[in-house]
């Protein structure tokens, strides 16, 4: 998706086919229409009564690039609905499609497996046949290496039938097992949280490779507000307990915050569009390339965006928009990130260690461009020289050191002052200021990009306006070797 200027709004994907908006043939309901934007399946029927095909309108239809040729026929975007009529005669109560819709359809040219809970059927809970249908869809996806797209709105297992849903091998827990196994095989697992995800249902988005939540609708929690009140006495709303703001800003369980359902679907399409592969054994000896597209913004403006004063803030998105093709950029975990005592108590160092592990072990081209301050552990996490980037460059305003000069001067001054006090030496204010200035001057000199490049700590100081061109050349040079399998060490919980 394009990088939008500040103040602009997201525009939902439009379904362009008139035949989908106004079906020419008679249609009948294949499930309740009480919720008009949730997983409706209209089966088109010819005048002679024969069923000729099925498409998912409303929610699922937005995923498909549907086009219509001059003759009026739909030439793309059809979803192959599988296991559609499994509910007949299984239970006394009505359970259309087993409470879940599964099918295979194209998204940006990639065939995907869709698994969509129907919240209008028993609140999207899982009956035994619901589990079986979900598992069969996953089995097909695993065999055919199809990315899995879960549209989640589920109350978890149907409790009255827990003995048939929960304990056995091919029961509810197998769904999450399959997610883990497919993810390990490079088969993408994407979840869109469009409604409630309670108890076991919460693990589908939590175990997905990437997940999207809808503001005001999507919730994720193991125990909902009634159970929380019964267990602890705490009264809390569903949104405050496990809404999109909580999981996109604080917990990090979800990666993308969607303003509404169409925004979530658009984000899901973008995720699928940007997928590199499904199935590591399908890697070829050469990388796939696409025709380049110039950024929407002038690359020469890069010379004026990053400030010389590193205390002055700027929007890094304005740099990215002038480097990437077409200024297209999907931001991952845009709202997540915290500092302070709560972050420390929650183990922020472990999160940093995981990033360092990932940077060190990832077998992909690594190109580092330092455009501002690169200090301390931030240098490590962002692939500094010690982490063997393929190429590493500086902008003229960049700085590199274990910490900023002012911070280092403050720390060393306190240490020196304490040492003199123990020896009974008085330190005047003038002497203290002279000491600080000397430290700051040394850090300023040693942190200069020119000091660094003279010692081959990097591969050169570049004109910011040449950044896109240089990165492109470096990527091309890195593509001369075949992709390698990445193996990681232990990621601590």
Taking only the tens place, the pLDDT of each residue in 61-104 is 445 433 333 333 333 445 667 666 555 667 888 888 889 999 88
Instruction: Write down the mean pLDDT value for the chain.
Output: 80
- Kindly report the backbone phi and psi dihedral angles of residue 396, in degrees, each rounded to the nearest multiple of 5, phi listed first: -60, -25
Whole-number pLDDT of residue 221? 92
DSSP labels for 374-387?
A: EEHHHHHHTT-GGG
Q: Whose CA is closest to 155, among 174, 177, 180, 130?
A: 130
Whole-number pLDDT of residue 78? 55
Whole-number pLDDT of residue 128? 92
CB contact at 8 A, 103 and 43: no
Whole-number pLDDT of residue 326? 94
Most confident of 5-14, 18-27, 291-300, 336-345: 291-300
Q: What is the pLDDT of residues 454-482, one digit of tens each?
A: 998 999 999 999 999 999 989 888 877 77
In angstroms, the CA 292 to CA 436 distance is 50
Fold of 337-478: 2-enoyl-CoA Hydratase; Chain A, domain 1 (3.90.226)
Length of the chain: 493
CB contact at 8 A, 44 and 33: no
DSSP labels for 23-45?
A: -SSEEEESS--SSTTS--EEEEE
What tokens does 146 get? 């199809």
- Kindly report the backbone phi and psi dihedral angles of residue 489, in degrees, each rounded to the nearest multiple of 5, phi listed first: -80, -155
Spacing of C-alpha 150 from chain mean position: 14
Question: Per mean pLDDT, which range of 190-204, 234-248, 340-354 is the poorest?
Answer: 340-354
Q: What is the pLDDT of residues 400-427, one digit of tens each?
A: 998 888 888 888 998 988 898 888 888 8
Helix (H) or strand (E) holding 112: strand 110-117
What tokens does 103 get? 């099918």
Question: Per mean pLDDT, which range of 125-129, 223-227, 338-342 is the poorest?
Answer: 338-342
Of 288 and 121, the one with more pLDDT = 121
Q: Residue 388 carries which DSSP code?
A: -
In angstroms, the CA 378 to CA 374 distance is 6
The yes-or-no verdict on residue 159 having pLDDT over 70 is: yes
The yes-or-no verdict on residue 341 having pLDDT over 90 is: no
Q: Which residue has the tokens 């915050």?
A: 257
Q: Whose CA is closest to 76, among 90, 91, 92, 61?
A: 61
pTM of the model: 0.72
User: In this prediction, what percent of the chain has a pLDDT beyond 70?
Assistant: 79
Q: Which residue has the tokens 């899995």?
A: 148
**CA dihedral in degrees (195, 199, 200, 204; nearest 10)?**
40
- Kindly report the backbone phi and psi dihedral angles of residue 337, in degrees, each rounded to the nearest multiple of 5, phi listed first: 140, 120
Whole-number pLDDT of residue 279? 40
The yes-or-no verdict on residue 318 having pLDDT over 80 is: yes
The yes-or-no verdict on residue 315 having pLDDT over 60 is: yes
Q: Angle at Cα 292 formed by Cα 286 and Cα 298, nearest 5°?
A: 145
Whole-number pLDDT of residue 309? 87
Q: Is the dihedral of CA 424, 425, 427, 428 positive or negative?
A: positive
Every domain of the chain with CATH number 3.90.226.10 lies at: 18-281, 337-478
Q: What is the pLDDT of residues 227-269, one digit of tens each?
A: 899 989 999 999 999 999 999 999 999 999 999 999 999 999 9
Of 16 and 198, the one with more pLDDT = 198
Q: How confident is the model at residue 201 (pLDDT cuts 50, 70, 90)?
A: confident
User: In this prediction, what percent of the chain has a pLDDT beyond 90?
Assistant: 46
Q: First and final CA of the chain: distance in angstroms?
A: 33
Whole-number pLDDT of residue 14? 36
Whole-number pLDDT of residue 80? 67
What tokens does 397 get? 């305003």
Q: What is the pLDDT of residues 18-58, one digit of tens each?
A: 333 333 223 223 333 233 223 333 322 333 333 222 333 33
Q: How confident is the model at residue 17 (pLDDT cuts 50, 70, 90)?
A: very low
**What superfamily would CATH give domain 18-281?**
2-enoyl-CoA Hydratase; Chain A, domain 1 (3.90.226.10)
C-beta atoms surrounding 118 within 10 Å: 26
């Amino acid at each position: 998706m394009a990088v939008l200027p500040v103040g602009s709004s997201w525009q939902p994907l439009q379904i362009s086919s008139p035949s989908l908006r106004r079906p020419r043939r008679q249609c009948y309901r294949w499930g309740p229409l009480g919720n008009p934007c949730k997983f409706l399946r209209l089966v088109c029927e010819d005048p002679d009564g024969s069923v000729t095909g099925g498409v998912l309108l409303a929610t699922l239809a937005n995923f498909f690039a549907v086009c219509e040729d001059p003759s009026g026929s739909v030439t793309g975007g059809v979803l192959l609905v599988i296991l559609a009529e499994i509910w007949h005669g299984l239970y006394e109560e009505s359970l259309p499609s087993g409470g879940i819709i599964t099918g295979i359809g194209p998204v940006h040219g990639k065939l995907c497996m869709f698994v969509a809970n129907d919240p209008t059927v028993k609140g999207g809970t899982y009956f035994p046949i619901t589990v079986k249908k979900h598992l069969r869809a996953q089995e097909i996806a695993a065999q055919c290496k199809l990315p899995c797209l879960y549209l989640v709105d589920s109350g978890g297992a149907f409790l009255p039938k827990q003995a048939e849903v929960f304990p056995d091998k091919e029961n509810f827990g197998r769904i999450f097992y399959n997610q883990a196994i497919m993810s390990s095989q490079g088969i993408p697992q994407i979840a869109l949280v469009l409604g409630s995800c309670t108890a076991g249902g919460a693990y589908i988005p939590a175990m997905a490779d990437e997940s999207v939540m809808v503001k005001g609708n999507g919730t994720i929690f193991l125990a909902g507000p009634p159970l929380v009140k019964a267990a602890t006495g705490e009264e809390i709303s569903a949104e405050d307990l496990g809404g999109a703001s909580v999981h996109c800003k604080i917990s990090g369980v979800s990666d993308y915050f969607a303003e509404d359902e169409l925004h979530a679907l658009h984000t899901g399409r973008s995720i699928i569009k940007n997928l590199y592969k499904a199935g590591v054994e399908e890697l070829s000896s050469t990388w796939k390339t696409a025709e380049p597209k110039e950024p929407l913004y002038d690359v020469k403006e890069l010379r004026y965006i990053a400030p010389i004063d590193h205390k002055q803030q700027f929007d890094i998105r304005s740099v990215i928009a002038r480097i990437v093709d077409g200024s297209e950029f999907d931001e991952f975990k845009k709202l997540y990130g915290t500092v302070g005592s709560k972050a420390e108590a929650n183990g922020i160092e472990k999160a940093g260690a995981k990033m360092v592990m990932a940077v060190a072990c990832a077998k992909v081209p690594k190109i580092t461009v330092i455009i501002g301050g690169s200090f301390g552990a931030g240098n490590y996490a962002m692939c500094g020289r010690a982490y063997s980037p393929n190429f590493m460059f500086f902008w003229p305003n960049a700085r590199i050191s274990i910490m900023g000069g002012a911070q280092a001067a403050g720390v060393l001054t306190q240490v020196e002052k304490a040492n003199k006090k123990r020896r009974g030496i008085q330190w005047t204010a003038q002497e203290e200021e002279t000491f600080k200035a000397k430290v700051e001057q040394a850090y300023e000199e040693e942190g200069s990009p020119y000091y660094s490049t003279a010692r081959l700590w990097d591969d050169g100081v570049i004109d910011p306006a040449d950044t896109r061109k240089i990165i492109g050349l470096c990527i091309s040079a890195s593509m001369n070797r075949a992709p390698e399998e990445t193996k990681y060490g232990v990621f601590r919980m």
